[in-house]
């Protein structure tokens, strides 16, 4: 890699919002580290090809964000190879939706382990190198339901509310080291995660959005691009909502 290239690690980068962020970030001035944990590599490999076509240096990084030792080993290896990580985008997440009275313990644990513990695992491992270099940008992908709640998503809402609290706390810890830590809270975005919803549920969501439409992953990626740019250097500890007016 060229010494002036910026090193960006994106978790859950193979599809949806993560893929859109990778495509937005892709240019000859960056090294993109594309984490995924899909059972098959097809989507990750396609994302890799697409960002390389835009001139970026890129690497697929297959590891489970919920496994602390695995995260630590993988990220330390990347730091040894590339020298630094300038930007961390904690995007990996899952849903296991059902009403609380029907929710299985494993559905609670799985969602919390990826959506919240995964953010802790990746951030703690990366933050040490950012503190040493006295610079860095971290963006955590939360959700509108972390702020407003949603029936049938107690596990998901709790995990994303946790991400919001985590973001604010870490931002205070590292602000003096010129590291900015922010969260974004997407609303109803057109991704593979929302594509499985029935048309009736989809229409119910749309009726509650003042703008009358769902958001695009590319629109979320634009917000992330701003937050990791020098234009956001005086913004930290914030939760920026992108939801078409669903929650104000």
SS3 letters for 23-41? HHHCCCCEEEEEEECCCCC
Look-up of token digits 């998503």: 153
| pLDDT at position 201 | 74
Catalytic residue among 37, 62, 156, 234: 156
| Contact status, residue 227 vs residue 182, Cβ threshold 8 Å | yes
User: Which structure tokens are listed for 115?
Assistant: 């959506």
Is-catalytic flag, 156? yes
User: Which structure tokens are listed for 198?
Assistant: 């029935």
Cα(39)–Cα(115) distance, integer angstroms: 18
| Contact status, residue 34 vs residue 45, Cβ threshold 8 Å | no
**Cα–Cα–Cα angle for 211, 213, 215, nearest 5°?**
100
Spell out the residues 6+ positions from residue 223 whose beta carbon is closer than 8 angstroms to its own.
Answer: 184, 240, 242
| pLDDT at position 193 | 74
Closest residue by Cα to residue 117 from 70, 162, 147, 74: 162
Give the pairing type, strands 179-186 and 136-141: parallel
| pLDDT at position 200 | 79
Cα(147)–Cα(140) distance, integer angstroms: 14
| pLDDT at position 195 | 75
Prediction pTM value? 0.96
pLDDT (tens digit, 9 = 90+) per residue, 133-155? Answer: 999 999 999 999 999 999 999 99
pLDDT (tens digit, 9 = 90+) per residue, 186-211? Answer: 999 998 877 777 787 788 889 999 99
| pLDDT at position 31 | 98
| pLDDT at position 204 | 82
Give me the residues of the chain with pLDDT under 50, please. Answer: none
Cα(115)–Cα(137) distance, integer angstroms: 19
């Amino acid at each position: 890699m060229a010494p002036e290239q910026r090193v960006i690690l994106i978790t859950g980068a193979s599809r949806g919002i993560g893929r859109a962020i990778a495509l937005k970030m892709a240019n000859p001035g960056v090294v993109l580290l594309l984490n995924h944990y899909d059972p098959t590599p097809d989507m990750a490999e396609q994302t890799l090809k697409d960002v390389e076509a835009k001139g970026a240096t890129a690497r697929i990084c297959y590891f489970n964000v919920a496994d602390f030792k695995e995260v630590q080993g993988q990220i330390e290896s990347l730091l040894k190879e590339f020298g630094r990580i300038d930007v961390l985008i904690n995007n990996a997440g899952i849903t296991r939706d059902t009403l609380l009275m029907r929710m299985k313990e494993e559905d609670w644990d799985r969602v919390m382990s990826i959506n919240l513990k995964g953010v802790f695992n990746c951030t703690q491992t990366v933050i040490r190198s950012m503190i040493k270099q006295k610079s860095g940008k971290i963006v955590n992908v939360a959700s509108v339901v972390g702020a407003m709640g949603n029936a049938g998503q107690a596990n998901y809402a709790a995990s994303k509310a946790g991400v919001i609290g985590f973001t604010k706390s870490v931002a205070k810890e590292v602000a003096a080291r010129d590291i900015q830590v922010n969260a974004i809270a997407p609303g109803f975005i057109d991704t593979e995660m929302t594509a499985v919803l029935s048309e009736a549920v989809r229409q119910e969501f749309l009726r509650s959005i003042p703008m009358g439409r769902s958001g695009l992953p590319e629109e979320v990626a634009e917000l992330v691009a701003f937050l990791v740019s020098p234009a956001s250097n005086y913004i930290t500890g914030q939760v920026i909502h992108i939801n078409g007016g669903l929650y104000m």
